[in-house]
Amino acid sequence: MDPRVGSGPLGALEDADVLLERGTIAAVGRHLGGTGDARVIDARGEIVLPGFVDTHTHAWQSLIRGCGTDSELKGWLARCVGPLFKSSVSGADAYAGVRLSTLDEISTGVTTVADFSHAFNAGFARANLTALDDSGLRFVFAYYTPDDPAVADEVRRVKRDVIDPNTRARLQIGSHPSMSGLAGLTAARRLADELGVALHVHLAESPADGDDHQMEALTRAGALEPGLVVDHAIHLSAADLDRLAAHDVRVAHNPLSNMRLATGIMPLPEMRRRHMKVGLGLDGGTNDTSDMFNDMRAAVGLQRATSLDPAASPTPADALRMATLGGAEVLGLDAEVGSLTPGKKADVQIVDPRAVNFAPRIDWISQLVFNGQPANVDWVLVDGRALKRHGRLVAVDTGRVLRDAQAAADRVHQLLHRGRSS
């Protein structure tokens, strides 16, 4: 993902070594000896690439997999999410759901995840953060902050006590743009500015969002600024795209979610023509799985299926870049992660192509996008620490995570049922 390191637009390099030192990429090239006591991962025949960056998910939503699968966005929200805002969904439930999601993310080669937490209550948000930390992943926690000074104070405390001391953690402020909620959006933007972090919002996801005049709300709140992350960004005019591009607003593209919720197809080629920063997201429970290879395929396939042009943007190489360095740019982390550039964090995945779904070798870049599956991810390292090793998750009792998630999902579905019938 760094043209200076190797050949072609992605800087590919054959038969090379990657030297990691104290959590950092020290060198990339041929015949790197390392120090005498270097530990060697023999990845001959495999593909070493940066870990994927998931720019938008809701990690707790593994607990609502399979919920409302015949609903569009608003119906799904009403059935599977909305009732929880008035419930006592617990920190234990948040922990169990996030733990399961993060294992799924690691399995597919993700090393950085931006988790938009609905933060139903303070205990939920704190347990959500603990689970993210326990996963070993690098993470950006987008704390949904309604227009409530008590929540804003808790966000300040969380930043000081939990986020800032953790080198793998970053904060964002989650909000929702609408003219009827302009005061809340403005307060969220001010809090983000005060804390020096980015705002993260859903934008123009479904045609029904047009009623909320979201672009006007973002403008009036002073939120159109570099670093703002908008998710979906589907139902926008050319003039809207011009304004987003002019303000260097970043886009999280969630093609699997858009297909599942029947929300539409993002104008990705129009964004690329405007040189906008776009990454890929898995969007929690609306995908019902974390599979970044599938997300890349969907990003390519949606544009080809609608343009009838196999050369349509994005190309497979574009998709691979969006899933790595592009995502890091969206989150403002591209100086630290997203490519195997010496000096960056040792966030690395190793894919083994010697599998029935992947071999034989013709074009590794295209095959990563069109053939890859999470099962092909052999190693995942964050800060040089292995989270997946020889195809297996490291130091985790998966059976226990699954049992805890089932118990939490059972409780959450009771809350949803009660919320819907009240």
- Kindly tell me which of 283 and 329 has the beta carbon lying closer to Zn ion: 283
In one-letter notation, the amino acid at residue 415 is L
Place of tokens 């049992």: 403
Minimum distance of Zn ion from residue 57's CB (angstroms):
7
Closest Cα to residue 413, out of 92, 101, 90, 80? 80
- CA 212 – CA 275 distance, rounded (Å): 27
In one-letter notation, the amino acid at residue 138 is R
Strand (E) or helix (H) holding 328: helix 327-330
- Kindly tell me which of 283 and 295 has the beta carbon lying closer to Zn ion: 283
Minimum distance of Zn ion from residue 200's CB (angstroms):
9
Closest Cα to residue 299, out of 288, 308, 312? 312
Closest Cα to residue 118, out of 150, 141, 101, 149? 141
- Kindly tell me which of 283 and 291 has the beta carbon lying closer to Zn ion: 283
Nearest position to Zn ion, beta carbon: 283
Minimum distance of Zn ion from residue 310's CB (angstroms):
30
Query: Number of residues in contact with Zn ion, rule: CB under 5 A?
Result: 1
In one-letter notation, the amino acid at residue 81 is V
- CA 83 – CA 249 distance, rounded (Å): 31
- Kindly tell me which of 128 and 376 has the beta carbon lying closer to Zn ion: 128
Minimum distance of Zn ion from residue 319's CB (angstroms):
20
With contacts defined by CB under 5 A, name the span among 6-14, 26-34, 281-289, 335-343 that binds Zn ion.
281-289
- CA 237 – CA 241 distance, rounded (Å): 6
Minimum distance of Zn ion from residue 339's CB (angstroms):
26
- Kindly tell me which of 241 and 256 has the beta carbon lying closer to Zn ion: 256
With contacts defined by CB under 5 A, name the span among 28-36, 164-172, 277-285, 318-326 that binds Zn ion.
277-285
With contacts defined by CB under 5 A, name the span among 25-33, 64-72, 275-283, 392-400 that binds Zn ion.
275-283
Minimum distance of Zn ion from residue 231's CB (angstroms):
5
Minimum distance of Zn ion from residue 25's CB (angstroms):
31
- CA 326 – CA 193 distance, rounded (Å): 24
- Kindly tell me which of 58 and 99 has the beta carbon lying closer to Zn ion: 58
Q: Which long-range contacts (CB under 8 A, 24 or more apart) does 356-361 make?
A: none
- CA 266 – CA 206 distance, rounded (Å): 11
Minimum distance of Zn ion from residue 232's CB (angstroms):
7
Helices (H), strands (E): how many in the chain?
A: 14, 15
Instruction: Work out whether 115 is an interface residue with Zn ion (CB under 5 A).
Output: no
- Kindly tell me which of 56 and 345 has the beta carbon lying closer to Zn ion: 56
Say if residues 52 and 351 touch (Cβ distance below 8 Å).
Answer: no
| Sequence-ordered list of residues with C-beta below 8 angstroms from that of 398, at least 6 positions apart, any chain | 103
- Kindly tell me which of 283 and 378 has the beta carbon lying closer to Zn ion: 283
- Kindly tell me which of 283 and 336 has the beta carbon lying closer to Zn ion: 283
- Kindly tell me which of 105 and 283 has the beta carbon lying closer to Zn ion: 283
Residue 167: how many CB atoms within 10 A of its CB? 11
DSSP class of residue 315 equals: P
Instruction: Tell me the two tokens of residue 318.
Output: 């574009």
Minimum distance of Zn ion from residue 302's CB (angstroms):
17
Minimum distance of Zn ion from residue 286's CB (angstroms):
7
With contacts defined by CB under 5 A, name the span among 74-82, 280-288, 332-340, 358-366 that binds Zn ion.
280-288
Q: Using CB under 5 A as the criterion, what x/- string covers residues 229-268 for binding Zn ion?
A: ----------------------------------------
Residue 22: how many CB atoms within 10 A of its CB? 8
Positions 282 through 321 that interact with Zn ion (CB under 5 A): 283
In one-letter notation, the amino acid at residue 373 is Q
With contacts defined by CB under 5 A, name the span among 13-21, 45-53, 278-286, 392-400 that binds Zn ion.
278-286
Q: Which residues bind Zn ion (CB under 5 A)?
A: 283
